[in-house]
Amino acid sequence: MKRLLFITWDGPQVSYLEGLFFPILEGLTPEYVIDVVQFTWGSRDKSDRLEALLAAAGMRYTRVDIKPRSIAPLGTLLTLLRGAFGLRSFIRSADVVLFRSNNPGLMVLPWMNRRRKWVFDADGLPLDERVDFGRLRRGSLYFRSMKWVESVAVKKADRVMVRSMMALPALTHEAPTDKFHVVLNGRDPNRYRLPEAGERAALRRELGVTEDELLLVYCGSLGAQYCLPEMIRLLEAVRKRRPAKLMILTGSPGYLEPGHGLLVFSLPPGEVPRYLGASDAGLAIRQQTPSMKAVSPVKLGEYLLCGLPVVASAGIGDSEGLLAGEPACLLLGDHSPASLESAARWVEQAAGDKAVQNGARRLGLEKFGLDAGILSYKKALEEL
């Protein structure tokens, strides 16, 4: 069998490797021997859990420590240059190298040759996101340097994975468009599922949520692009009509304090589906900036597979093509007070509607299931 090397760079708050990529990589193990190298400054406990999880599926995991002070732009560049030499032995034994995003892209550039196949998982437009929502300046040395890395990685790679074809105008860098391939963020429908009888009621009692309350849920990172003020305004609009709470499931629990109708939890990925099953509607509201056209929110599939009606922002990746016209989804053209009031009315009507719940589950299975995600990766790799 061929050997596939997967390289990723992850902060302590994200659980993409365990929650998103592990199931997809596991689906590739019948055809590949897989090594995973993760650069991270996250907790050792999380890495130990990942190592055991991957080992049980026949994959080898290697953690490379990043010192927290090295995540500033200059420190990042120095860390990446050192990481390039550390990857040499892994790359030599690989037939296919799948590197996720720009930081691993810089580390593999010195070794990109025709002796093996190279797959660049662009996974959005992270540099542009940091300009839109962080402190990175578009004209800074770091931005220009990493944009150059991105352009060379795109040109040299045999395949470029994207989450939306809307990313191509920012990524093509004169490369032929036929090397780009859309892959899906598939979720396991056996884990993300409709709650069993009594399961939902038991957890709501544990959470202190009564049956007559509407429980909205947001699952994911917190930051400027994730529209926390708009979610709270939507909650307030719902509460004008009936009792309601908003539950935040995030890897950044210190970002806000619970109270005033907010429940805040940081959970292992395996616990998330149970909490979604206790909810009434999922929120996927994001700032509608150009960089957001390249993303595919993982939470959409999670909500829908658990039977939740979804309030999402239009203009985010392929969301309109996937969700427009679906009874289980409401797409917001903007986040104005009038739009949020309208969303509150829609949530009140959709929550608890069995037809909407079943429609959400059907849509999740059709467009966000794990099998579809694995198949999209297999097609990208087969076409090499």
Contact (Cβ atoms closer than 8 angstroms) between residue 161 and residue 119? yes
d(CA 54, CA 48): 10
**Number of domains the chain is built from:** 2
The structure tokens listed for 165 are: 């074809």
Contact (Cβ atoms closer than 8 angstroms) between residue 32 and residue 3? yes
Q: For residue 209, what are the domain limits?
A: 199-368
Asked if 6 and 26 sit in the same domain, the reply is yes
Per-position pLDDT tens, the chain of length 384 = 999 999 999 888 778 898 899 999 999 999 999 999 999 988 888 899 999 999 999 999 999 988 765 456 666 777 777 888 889 999 999 999 999 999 999 999 999 988 899 999 999 999 999 999 988 999 998 899 899 999 999 999 999 999 998 899 889 887 888 899 999 999 999 999 999 879 999 999 999 999 999 999 999 988 889 999 999 999 999 999 999 999 999 987 777 878 789 999 999 888 999 999 999 999 999 999 999 999 999 999 999 999 999 999 999 999 888 899 999 999 999 999 999 999 999 999 999 899 999 999 999 999 999 999 999 999 999 978
Which phi and psi angles does 96 have, rounded to 5°? -130, 130
The structure tokens listed for 349 are: 């009507």
Q: What SS3 state is found at 202?
A: helix
Residue 140 lies in a domain: yes
Q: What is the CATH number of the domain that holds 296?
A: 3.40.50.2000
Asked if 65 and 155 sit in the same domain, the reply is yes
Residue 193 lies in a domain: no
Token pair 């203009």 is found at 315
Reference 74, options 124, 134, 146, 139; nearest CA is 146
d(CA 197, CA 140): 55
